[in-house]
Every structure is written in C-alpha cells, then in structure tokens.
C-alpha cells in the first residue's frame, strides 16, 4: 500500500528508433497516460547497462521501464535481446537486495505503437503505485531532510 503522498516516479529508457517514436506519437496524438514517466532516450536498449537501471532507482525512481523495438526488429539486430537479458539479471539482483523485481520491466513496441506504449505506461504506474514508494527513495529523502535540518549527529 502506498502511504507516501507523492506520485510514483518512473524512469523510462526508450530506444530512439521505436519506443521513443511511439512515445512521441502518443504525445502528438494526445493519448492519455499518466505523467509519471521521465523519458530517457537511448540509441538502442542494447546500449543500456545494468547499472543504468540501478542508478535510476538509487537516484529516486520508484520504477524503471525499459522500452525497445519489437523482438526481431532492433535496428542494431540484437540490442533488445541483450537488454532483455540484462533486465532479467537486474531483476534478480533487485530481488536479492530485497526490492521488488516488478519495479523493473522491459517492454517492446513498434514506432507506430503509441497505444501500446501508453498502455504499458499505465500498467507500470499502476504496478508501482501498488508496491508503494521505493525504499531507496524513502531513505534518500529522509537523509536529505536530516541533512537540511542538521538532524544528523
């Protein structure tokens, strides 16, 4: 249950050729989806390393969405397959660290898949809203507050 007052923040790593184009199309088509995502454009999801996902969570994201081309359609041939493997490994690491693996998800969309993209965003926001704020974000906010108020002994 989310007892945190703020809305979930989702970082969405989108590949330039498909997912970013789908997000752009969703925007220009005025499709409704929650404004909780912060899009980071990447040339290809194959460029994304596990530490990119971890850094996003460490920096305050409650969830991370990795969106690449449909399987078999990556412009760099197998980038999205590499990303799929890295996302699966990262999900395992999150689980071992005591975080919910559902906070990280990979999806595949075509450049024309604006409806599909908007649907994935809605699903991700709903999933993360149910999980509640990331414990990492909560600890970071608490530490920042203590630093501001000088509460650290």
Binding positions for ligand FES, rule: CB under 6 A: 15, 17-18, 44-46, 68-69, 74-76, 79-80
CA 20/CA 35 separation, integer angstroms: 15
Length of the chain in terms of residues written = 153
The residue (of 87 and 131) whose beta carbon lies closer to ligand FES is: 87
Q: How far is the CB of 45 from ligand FES (least distance, A)?
A: 4
Rounded to 5°, the CA angle 51-57-18 comes to: 70
The residue (of 111 and 118) whose beta carbon lies closer to ligand FES is: 111
The residue (of 46 and 63) whose beta carbon lies closer to ligand FES is: 46
Instruction: Give Dmax (Cα) for the chain.
Output: 55
Q: How far is the CB of 124 from ligand FES (least distance, A)?
A: 18
Q: Are 18 and 109 in contact (CB under 8 A)?
A: yes
């Amino acid at each position: 249950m989310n007892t945190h007052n703020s809305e979930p923040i989702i970082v969405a790593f989108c590949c330039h050729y498909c997912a970013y184009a789908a997000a752009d199309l969703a925007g220009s088509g005025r499709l409704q989806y929650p404004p909780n995502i912060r899009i980071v454009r990447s040339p290809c999801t194959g460029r994304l390393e596990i530490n990119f996902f971890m850094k996003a969570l460490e920096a305050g994201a409650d969830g991370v969405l990795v969106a690449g081309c449909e399987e078999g359609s990556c412009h760099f041939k197998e980038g999205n397959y590499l990303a799929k493997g890295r996302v699966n490994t990262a999900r395992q690491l999150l689980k071992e660290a005591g975080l919910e693996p559902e906070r990280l998800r990979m999806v595949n969309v075509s450049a024309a898949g604006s409806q599909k993209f908007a649907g994935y965003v809605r699903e991700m926001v709903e999933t993360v809203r149910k999980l509640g704020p990331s414990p990492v974000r909560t600890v970071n906010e608490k530490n920042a507050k203590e630093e501001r108020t000088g509460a650290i002994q």
